[in-house]
Amino acid sequence: MTEGTQGKPKRGRKAAVVPYVQAELFEAKLVEWPVKDDLASMEFPLFSLSTKPDTSVKEYVQPGTGKRVRITPPVIGAATVFDKDLLLFIGSQIIEARKAGLPISNVVKFEAYDFLTGTGRDPSGNAYANILDMLRRLKGTQIETNIITGGEEQTKGFGWIHDYTITKKTTNGNGVLECVVQISDWMYNAMLHYEVLTIDRRYFDLRMPLERRLYELARKHVGNKAIWKADLALMQEKCGSTQDLRHFRAEIRKIIKKDSLPDYHMALDTSSKAHRLVFYTRHNKALSHELVQHDLASWFDGLERSKPL
Quick one: 118 and 192 in the same domain? Answer: yes
Quick one: 157 and 225 in the same domain? Answer: no
**Mean pLDDT of the residues in the chain:** 90
Which CA distances in Å does 114 have to 131, 176, 186, 205? 12, 12, 25, 17
Quick one: 125 and 222 in the same domain? Answer: no
The CA distance from 265 to 89, in Å, is: 26
Which residue range(s) make up the domain with 95?
A: 26-198
With both helix axes pointing from N to C terminus, report the angle between 185-192 and 84-99 in degrees, rounded to the nearest 10.
Answer: 40
The CA distance from 233 to 277, in Å, is: 9
- Asked if residue 10 belongs to a domain, the reply is no
Which candidate, 184, 171, 64, 188, places its Cα nearest to that of 128?
171
- Tell me how far apart the 2 most distant CA atoms of the chain are, in Å: 64
The CA distance from 273 to 23, in Å, is: 56
Quick one: 145 and 38 in the same domain? Answer: yes
Whether the predicted pLDDT of 289 surpasses 50? yes
Q: What is the dihedral of CA 95, 104, 150, 82, to 10 degrees?
A: -60
Whole-model pTM: value is 0.89
Quick one: 140 and 266 in the same domain? Answer: no
180 neighbors 164 (Cβ within 8 angstroms): yes
pLDDT in tens, 5-22: 333 333 444 444 557 889
Residue type, 226: A
Domain-ending residue, one of 198, 222, 242 = 198
Domain-ending residue, one of 198, 216, 243 = 198
Identify the weakest region by mean pLDDT among 14-23, 32-41, 116-125.
14-23
**pLDDT, average across residues 45-55:** 95
Which residues lie across from 144 on neighbouring strands? 70, 157
User: What's the structural domain count of the chain?
Assistant: 2
Residue 45: predicted pLDDT: 94
Quick one: 36 and 148 in the same domain? Answer: yes
pLDDT in tens, 250-275: 999 999 999 999 999 999 999 989 99
Quick one: 190 and 43 in the same domain? Answer: yes
Residue 153: predicted pLDDT: 65
Whether the predicted pLDDT of 147 surpasses 80? no
Quick one: 119 and 36 in the same domain? Answer: yes
Three-class DSSP category at 253: helix
Concatenated DSSP letters for 18-63?
PP--B-S-EE---S----EEEHHHHHS--SB--SS-----EEEE-T
Quick one: 192 and 214 in the same domain? Answer: no
- Asked if residue 16 belongs to a domain, the reply is no
- Asked if residue 259 belongs to a domain, the reply is yes
- Asked if residue 61 belongs to a domain, the reply is yes
